[in-house]
Amino acid sequence: MAEAAILRVQHCEAAIFCRRVPERCPACGRPLRGAGLSAAPVRLPCPFRHGHRQPRAFLLRPTAGTFLGGYDGSSDLHVGITNSNGVVYNYNEEGIHRAETGWEQCISIPLVQPDMFGLLQQWDQLLEEFSVGEAWLPHRYEEHAHNCYTYALAFINSVLSAQGKRQMSKSEFTEKFVIPQTKKASKYITLHQELTANDFYIVPLPGQQKQC
């Protein structure tokens, strides 16, 4: 079942997050209708995507459960790479998997730009050939040193090398591409959890943004 959207309204020097906009401000009790443009509801973009609909992308999801289904912010995460049809190639202690389900709520980072015509055509072949390498046999798996992230980043770097581009370290890729997305996801998860327990979540605005 799809989660209800999260909406934001500004009033009483605060951002009011909710699932359904109330007739009156929960902070001051005044009507929100006619309160001006700042009080108009804005729908927050959801940071999660259906992974099997994200071709040629780096995906990130909890190893167990979903981001909006009880994720506590510290549980293990799993990553994979999609082919052009949304099949998720991922590596664990059982070796390489080609998953057609199970990645319906992910953080998605596109890896190929629309103008990269050659790579668009070759992507599936490159991914399949890379994934049958001996490095990704089950017995080579090691939880901390040779894992799903190792596999995904090694494939990305193999593509970069084939294009004559500089490879990226794990920390560089994480800082540049993953952390900006996980920060957005963390804020959204917090709001989701608050609105699961309460009708509203009210956050005071910094002085320069105060509206009423």
> Which domain, by its residues, includes 146?
48-186
Q: Which residue has the higher pLDDT, 70 or 68?
A: 68
Same domain, 118 and 155: yes
Is 2 inside a domain boundary? no
Same domain, 60 and 73: yes
DSSP structure string for 27-83? TT--B-TTS-GGGS-EEPPP--B-GGG--SEEEEEESSS-TTTT--SSS-EEEEEE-
Q: Tell me the average pLDDT of the chain.
A: 91
> What tokens does 203 get?
């956050």
Question: CA–CA separation, 56 vs 81, rounded Å?
Answer: 7
Same domain, 36 and 119: no
Mean pLDDT of 145-152: 97
The whole model's pTM is what?
A: 0.88
Residue whose entry in the numeric block shows the structure tokens 């994480």: 174
Same domain, 82 and 111: yes
In the predicted structure, residue 108 carries a pLDDT above the cut 90: yes
**Contact present, 11 and 32 (Cβ < 8 Å):** yes
Burial of 102 (0-12, 13-18, 19+ CB in 10 A): middle
Percent of the chain exceeding pLDDT 90 equals 71
Same domain, 22 and 52: no
Q: Which residue has the higher pLDDT, 13 or 192?
A: 192
- Compute the C-alpha angle 78/84/89, nearest 5°: 30
Same domain, 66 and 150: yes
In the predicted structure, residue 35 carries a pLDDT above the cut 70: no
User: Residue 41: which pLDDT band, with cuts at 50, 70 and 90?
Assistant: confident
- Residue 2 is predicted with a pLDDT of 56
Same domain, 38 and 125: no
In the predicted structure, residue 165 carries a pLDDT above the cut 80: yes
In the predicted structure, residue 212 carries a pLDDT above the cut 50: no
Same domain, 15 and 98: no
Number of domains in the chain: 2
